DNA sequence: ATAGGGTTAG
């Protein structure tokens, strides 16, 4: 499908003479960028580790330059995978070790002692080095310690990395194994792949998983049904519906029995692919014939599929059929039904769903209220939508970023910019963190009103709160610059700043990691 | 315990 993360973007001449750190008119807040792990300068440890440490202690200053054009093969074969890994904001700060590596390792590995026993001494050392090194050095590190890696039980090392909260490093080790498959006596076996699939699935790294299994002929490894289900799901989340369907068929050919979850994932695949209602009916019939009981996942998935296609009657019929069999719908199922009618503008039906939820003691959640807000807003009642914020707070459900975004957007469309901005500030004051959609909505609103100064401010705010801009953000910013009619509002300073923003983001995040 | 569903932005 693609060779790079951004096929539409020109391949930037990385080593251009362009200044990386020109002084921008408005300075980027460096502290908001993903922290890079710091590496200690020296450790009293044996020669192997000394060697590894030399690699793992790059100069601290031009870090953002280093990964741009790394000498290792990784980028050639997995141009995007490493980017994705590097661009993920760190959830956990890597602790700077204060003592010898091994000591440090034993300090923080208490819960995994049993597993660690499987590792050889050298494995422990490798583990420590990998854990403590900046991500972009891990591959060099692996290369330089090839001998040790060949001795160590790789699956245990992978497991240990994962258990210690370093799934990104686990991925890098996995990549390294893949890269050395032919030159070394390494083997990618079923167990290693299954583990990697499980890790990526658990971390919801669908984009990475999807790209990874573009390279690995996964159907040749006879993985278990769960692993295949995870991969199908990853394909689905990245829009590769045909691949998902293909893998499902292969799985059947291999004689594996799909589980309830596999079927639910496939229902979702056809639902998202669209125009596949017959396929959905077919799968449901197949499930029934195999004796599977539909669960809440099955129901909400099928109903959402109806919603996308506007199949109101089909949704109603399916729902009624389930209830007649004694099925008690849960909140998520009601929510998807609510969306079907809300989207179609059938408010009486939507209200009756809310009533039914109440009667059945099915507790509404934030999504329920969000659907309600969306229904109001679609009908042009921005204030009524805003009033739901109060209602839900009173009933003990905190409005979330989606709730605020919906209302802010509605105010924006209604020409009530100040109301929208007030709500945006209120949102932040109450501790609700805006997400990329919230920022995009505010930016689009300001863009329409030609308020570039404020747009720049919002963009800075975005950076300082650690929210990565995506394709839509940049398009909104660029539209502001390019709009001829409003061009007089955009001065050289704005353009320069925006240019700097884009450049910095490119360097630091390798541009935004838009999932789609 | 493991794999899955619903809401927002150009």
User: Is a pLDDT exceeding 60 seen at residue A32?
Assistant: no
Say yes or no to pLDDT of A63 above 70: no
Name the pLDDT band for A139 (thresholds 50, 70, 90): confident
Protein CA A337 to sugar C1' B6 (Å): 9
Query: Does residue A276 lie within 7 Å of nucleic acid chain B, judged by its CB?
Result: no
Nucleotide nearest to A338 (CA to C1'): B6
Q: For A410 and B3, how far is CA from C1' in angstroms?
A: 37
Contact indicator for A312, A340 with CB cutoff of 8 Å:
yes
Query: What is the model's pLDDT at position A9?
Result: 33
Determine whether the distance from the CB of A414 to the nearest atom of strand B is below 7 Å: no
DSSP assignment letter at A450: T
State residue A150's pLDDT score.
79
Q: What is the mean pLDDT of residues A73-97?
A: 36
Residue A480 CA from chain centroid, whole number: 28
Minimum CA–C1' distance nucleotide for A229? B3
Chain A window 56-75: residues with CB closer than 7 Å to nucleic chain B are none
Answer yes or no: is A315 CB < 7 A from strand B: no
Is residue A325 pLDDT above 60, yes or no? yes
At residue A119, the 3 state secondary structure works out as coil
Q: On chain B, which bases lie within 7 A of the protein's CB atoms? A: 2-10
Mean of pLDDT over chain A: 77
Give the H or E element holding residue A387.
Answer: helix A382-394
Q: Which residues contact A350 (CB under 8 A, 6 or more apart)?
A: A338, A341, A342, A371, A372, A375
% pLDDT > 90, chain A: 57
Could you tell me the pTM of the whole model? 0.76
Q: At a CB cut-off of 8 Å and minimum separation 6, what does A319 contact?
A: A299, A303, A329, A333, A337
pLDDT bucket at A40, cuts 50 / 70 / 90 = very low
Residue A383 has pLDDT above 50, yes or no: yes
Cα distances from A444 to residues A87, A154, A233, A426, A474, in angstroms, run 25, 49, 32, 19, 11
Distances (CA, A) of A11 to A8, A207, A449, A498: 9, 20, 33, 19
- Range 140-179, chain A: CB under 7 Å to any strand B atom: none
Q: In terms of CATH, what superfamily is A400-483+492-515?
A: Tetratricopeptide repeat domain (1.25.40.10)
Total residues belonging to chain A: 516
Q: Average the pLDDT over each of A123-137, A337-351, A387-401, A498-512 and give the range with the smallest value.
A: A498-512
Scanning residues 326 through 365 of protein chain A, those with a beta carbon under 7 Å from any atom of strand B turn out to be: 330-333, 335-336, 339, 365
Task: List strand B contacts in A 204-263 (CB < 7 A).
Answer: 204, 225-226, 229-230, 233, 237, 259-262
Beta carbons within 10 angstroms of residue A111's beta carbon = 10
**pLDDT classification of A484: cutoffs 50, 70, 90:** low
pLDDT of residue A149: 81
- The nt closest to A402 (CA vs C1′) is B8
Nucleotide nearest to A370 (CA to C1'): B7
The per-residue pLDDT for range A198-219, each reduced to its tens digit, is 999 999 999 999 999 999 999 9
How far apart are alpha carbons A189 and A82 in whole angstroms? 22
Domain ranges of chain A: 400-483+492-515
């Amino acid at each position: 499908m693609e060779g790079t993360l951004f096929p539409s973007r020109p391949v930037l001449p990385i080593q251009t003479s362009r200044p990386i750190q020109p002084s921008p008119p408005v300075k980027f807040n460096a502290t908001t960028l993903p922290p890079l792990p710091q590496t200690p300068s020296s450790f009293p440890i044996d020669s192997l580790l000394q060697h590894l440490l030399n690699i793992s202690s790059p100069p601290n200053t031009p870090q953002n330059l280093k990964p741009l054009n790394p000498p290792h093969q990784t980028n050639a074969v997995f141009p995007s995978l490493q980017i994705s890994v590097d661009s993920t904001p760190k959830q956990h700060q890597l602790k700077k070790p204060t003592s010898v590596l091994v000591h440090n390792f034993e300090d923080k590995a208490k819960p995994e002692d049993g597993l660690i026993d499987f590792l050889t001494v050298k494995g422990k050392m490798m583990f420590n080095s990998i854990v403590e090194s900046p991500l972009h050095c891990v591959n060099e590190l692996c290369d330089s310690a090839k001998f040790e890696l060949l001795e160590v039980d790789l699956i245990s090392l992978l497991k240990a990395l994962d258990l210690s909260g370093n799934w990104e490093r686990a991925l890098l080790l996995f990549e390294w194994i893949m890269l050395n498959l032919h030159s070394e006596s390494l083997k990618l076996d079923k167990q290693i792949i299954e583990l990697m699939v499980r890790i990526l699935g658990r971390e919801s790294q669908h984009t990475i998983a999807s790209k990874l299994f573009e390279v690995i002929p996964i159907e040749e490894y006879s993985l278990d049904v769960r692993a295949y289900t995870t991969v199908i799901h990853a394909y689905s989340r990245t829009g590769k519906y045909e691949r998902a369907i293909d893998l499902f068929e292969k799985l059947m050919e291999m004689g594996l029995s799909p589980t309830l979850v596999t079927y639910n994932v496939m229902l979702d695949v056809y639902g998202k692919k669209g125009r596949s209602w017959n396929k959905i009916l077919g799968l449901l019939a197949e499930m029934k014939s195999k004796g599977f009981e539909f669960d809440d996942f099955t129901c909400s998935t099928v109903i959402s599929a109806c919603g996308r296609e506007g199949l109101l009657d089909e949704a109603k019929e399916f729902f009624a059929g389930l209830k007649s069999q004694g099925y008690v719908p849960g909140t998520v199922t009601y929510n998807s039904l609510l969306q079907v009618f809300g989207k179609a503008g059938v408010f009486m039906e939507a209200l009756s769903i809310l009533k039914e939820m109440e009667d059945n003691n099915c507790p509404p959640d934030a999504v329920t209220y969000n659907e309600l807000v969306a229904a109001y807003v679609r009908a042009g009642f921005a204030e009524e939508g805003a009033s739901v914020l109060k209602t839900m707070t009173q009933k003990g459900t905190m409005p979330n970023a989606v709730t605020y975004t919906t209302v802010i957007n509605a105010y924006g469309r209604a020409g009530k910019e100040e109301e929208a901005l007030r709500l945006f500030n209120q949102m932040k004051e109450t501790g609700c963190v805006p997400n990329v959609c919230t920022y995009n909505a505010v930016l689009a609103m300001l863009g329409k009103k030609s308020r570039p100064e404020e747009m720049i401010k919002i963009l800075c705010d975005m950076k300082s709160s650690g929210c990565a801009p995506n394709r839509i953000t940049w398009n909104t910013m660029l539209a502001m610059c390019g709009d001829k009619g409003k061009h007089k509002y955009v001065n050289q300073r704005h353009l320069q700043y925006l240019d700097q923003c884009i450049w910095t983001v490119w360097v630091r995040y390798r541009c935004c990691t838009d999932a789609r």
